[in-house]
Amino acid sequence: MSDIKIHSFDNKDFGAYCAMPEGGKGPAIIVIQEIFGVNNFMRQMCDAFAAKGYIAVCPDLFWRQKPGIQLNKQTPEEWDQAMDLYKGFDTESGVRDLLATLAHVRKLPGCSGKVGAVGYCLGGKLAYLMATRSDVDASVGYYGVELDKYLDEVHDIRMPLMLHIAALDKYTPAPVREKLLKAFARNPVITAYVYDNADHAFARTGGDHYNAEAAKLANDRTDQFFAEYLQG
């Protein structure tokens, strides 16, 4: 487990956390951060994917504002900082940095060439955009925000995409959720699941809305999905 550097398309370097599987070989997964940076939860998710045989890389997408953000305590002050970073985040630059990450990961020693992406909250939106705008082999988004702004890209998705949607998520109220589901149903490579008793960030271990039952179900589905499309 180590921190690495990735070269951006505008000729600058930014950081990422990299967890390697036993033996140092396998398909790869790009783990896309929430609004709290590459913090303990993101690193733990990378370590968990590495234990399942994947090279897992979590790039620092806030580096253009302030590199090295790791908000772990989620105090009111950290929430304010996270929201300021989110408001200042440029989605298009973030997607380009993820495309640079994808190119870097595919060239890592030991990478099989198969690369997936999984993201949470902000990362859930970016995982969706990786599905629409890149040749990533499979993508998973957990409670992605603002997806309704990008529904005109739904037919650009050619590789498998799985989305986990929380029914109680205030960032995706029922009318928006129904609009999303209707659009997703028009593309057969998209699978969307709704978790009835779950709120936003239900899979974040230790978070206020952590829902063990929903998290296990979503994570099991994600594991099966990646096993089929990256390891199969």
Residues assigned a catalytic role: 169, 200
Tally of CB atoms within 10 A around 87: 8
d(CA 98, CA 62): 12
Nearest alpha-carbon partner for 125 in 103, 101, 142, 102: 142
Please name the amino acid found at residue 41.
F
**Residues with Cβ < 8 Å from 47, sequence gap 6 or more?**
1, 19, 56
Range 187-226 burial, b when 16+ CB lie within 10 A, else e: eeebebeebeebbbbbbbeebebebeebbebbbeebeebb
| Upper half-sphere CA count for residue 44 (Cβ side, 13 Å) | 9
Decide if 160 contacts 188 (C-beta within 8 A).
no
Angle at 218 between CA 6 and CA 221, to 5 degrees: 85
**Residues with Cβ < 8 Å from 179, sequence gap 6 or more?**
148, 151
